[in-house]
A = this chain, B = another copy of it.
Amino acid sequence: MSVTVAEGFVAAGVHCGIKDDSGALDLSLVATDTALAVPAAAVFTSNRATAAPVEVSRTHLLATGGRAAAVVLNSGNANAATGITGRAHAERTCALVGEGLGCAPEEVLVCSTGLIGIPLPFDAIESGIGPLVAARAGGTGAGAAAAQAILTTDTVAKEVSVSAEGFTVGGMAKGAAMLAPDMATMLAVLTTDAAVGAADLGAALTIAVDRSFNTLTVDGCTSTNDTVIVMASGRRASPTTAALVETLTAACRSLAAQMAGDAEGATKVVTVQVTGASSPEQARTAARKVAQSQLVKCSLYGADAYWGRIVSELGSAGVTFDPDLVRISYGGVAVCVGGMAADHDQAAVARHLAQRHVEITADLGLGSGQATLLTNDLTPEYIAENMRTS
């Protein structure tokens, strides 16, 4: 259950001082055990207000043609909206890790997460990199420290391990708010011992991210720093494309579900499934409109079966829609059929809505397009966590 479970990787997590003096881990490393570069790929945020570490990591992967020896990550500061100085800090962080490990600066990728617009306390990072590199080790303890050191408002670390025929994928992630399809205020580092080139690895990662992190929406906000990185040590089997995609997807889905379960202030994890849409794209658009609706999320918090809001969101999603054909179910119990209230077992619906895991299904009755998203309820605790930065 760790980023070190795949053969050929080491990890570490230390406290360098970005997170005040609380001693909380705030600097993280995942590296190959040889410090040699291996095939690597990444998916970055679609936000045009790109943070410095995203720009630097993208440039490094291009420069090496898709190879990396290490990823260094910090929490507590996003190094976003920090201009030229921020980019210099991200570059210098990679150079220091490269010096420590004995690899080229371009073979190091960098991620940051935390508050936007505040200069990175670079002294802290500079003093922390020596101890960080020295602390790197294999085993679940080192992986757990690395996973802990990337958390911000998360309450638990997110780790995964998936074994397939002949190879393994391990991973860690953080993310608890500003989560939306097209990624999120989230970072994830995956490792595998599969033997695979950078191009195939990148193609598989893109599919896996689309089927996992991109089906998660907490608040519709897409952040400046979102990054998912995978490195492949090649120590074990060369998988089929299908096996690689499937295994990476399983790992990413587990991490996405862990994020949904730990979303800021949320009391519920909600699956929104749209079926019967004119196309898969329309199903996804409609599901996203429902899953991101403040009013629907308030009803979910109240465990209130007010399906009228779901119909209203479907009608304003911009997709083909006939109000007289729509059918809405909670936990499989239909409450709206043919666009109108349907007699149903109200106690069964109330029991379902009282649970932590809630399922909403909306059938548009038009075609075969379907999509599923994961979301949460909107709670006073979410507001309390996000109303002030200090």
Binding site for B on A (CB under 8 A): 46-50, 78, 80-83, 85, 115-119, 177-178, 182, 219-224, 293-295, 298-299, 301-302, 304, 306-309, 311-316, 321-324, 326, 336, 338-341, 378-380, 382-384, 386-390
B380 adjacent to A323 (CB under 8 Å): no
A307: B residues at CB distance < 8 A: 117
Other A-B pairs, 20, CB within 8 Å; known A47-B315, A115-B306, A118-B308:
A48-B315, A49-B312, A49-B339, A50-B323, A80-B312, A81-B339, A81-B340, A83-B324, A83-B338, A115-B308, A116-B312, A117-B306, A117-B311, A117-B340, A178-B295, A220-B294, A221-B294, A221-B316, A224-B308, A304-B389
**Nearest residue in B to A180 (C-beta to C-beta)?**
B316
Interface of A is mostly: loop
Can you report 11 residue pairs joining A to B where beta carbons are below 8 Å apart? A47-B312, A48-B323, A49-B312, A49-B339, A115-B306, A117-B307, A295-B386, A298-B387, A302-B386, A378-B383, A380-B384
Chain B residue at smallest Cβ distance from A218: B294
Q: Which residues of B have CB within 8 Å of A221?
A: 293-295, 309, 312-313, 316
Cross-chain contact B49 with A389 (CB below 8 angstroms) = no
A306–B389 CB distance below 8 A: yes
Q: Establish whether residues B178 and A312, one from each chain, have CB atoms under 8 Å apart when the complex forms.
A: yes
Tell me whether B386 and A383 are in contact (CB under 8 A): no
Bound Cα distance A253, B80 (Å): 38
B219 touches A294 (CB 8 A): yes
Contact between A383 and B224, CB atoms less than 8 A apart: no
Measured between C-beta atoms, what is the minimum distance from A386 to chain B in Å? Answer: 4
Chain B residues near A382: list those with CB within 8 A: 294, 298
| B298 and A383 contacting across the interface, CB-CB below 8 Å | yes
Cβ–Cβ < 8 Å partners of A340 in chain B? 81-83, 85, 117
Chain B: which residue is nearest A342 at the CB level?
Answer: B117
Q: Are A49 and B304 interface neighbours, CB within 8 A? A: no
Q: Is the CB of A323 within 8 A of B117?
A: no
The docked-state distance in angstroms from the alpha carbon of A390 to that of B303 is: 11
B315 touches A49 (CB 8 A): yes
A341, closest chain B residue (CB): B117
Q: Are A388 and B47 in contact (CB under 8 A)?
A: no
Residues of B within 8 A of A78 (CB): 308
> By the criterion CB–CB under 8 Å, are A316 and B118 in contact?
no
A266 shortest CB reach to chain B, Å: 12
CB-CB under 8 A from A302, the residues of chain B are 386-388
**Are A49's CB and B387's CB within 8 A?**
no
**A321 closest partner in B (C-beta):** B48
Q: If A224-B312, A307-B117 touch, does A321 touch B389 (CB 8 Å cutoff)?
A: no
Q: A50–B302 Cα gap in the complex (Å)?
A: 26
Known interface pairs A294-B219, A339-B81. Does A316 touch B48 (Cβ–Cβ under 8 Å)? yes
Smallest Cβ-Cβ distance to A292: which chain B residue? B220
In the complex, the answer to whether B341 meets A386 with C-beta atoms within 8 Å is no
Contact status of A323 and B49, CB under 8 A, knowing A223-B312, A295-B178:
yes
Q: Please list the 9 inter-chain residue pairs (A to B) with the smallest Cβ-Cβ separation, ordered nearest first.
A: A116-B308, A49-B315, A302-B387, A298-B386, A117-B308, A380-B380, A302-B388, A222-B316, A48-B315
Known pairs A178-B312, A298-B386, A315-B47; A336 contacts B117 (CB<8 A): yes
Q: How far is the CB of A86 from chain B (nearest CB, A)?
A: 8
> How far is the CB of A114 from the nearest CB of chain B, in Å?
10
Instruction: List B contacts of A390 (CB < 8 A).
Output: 304
Chain B residues with CB under 8 A of A298: 382-383, 386-387
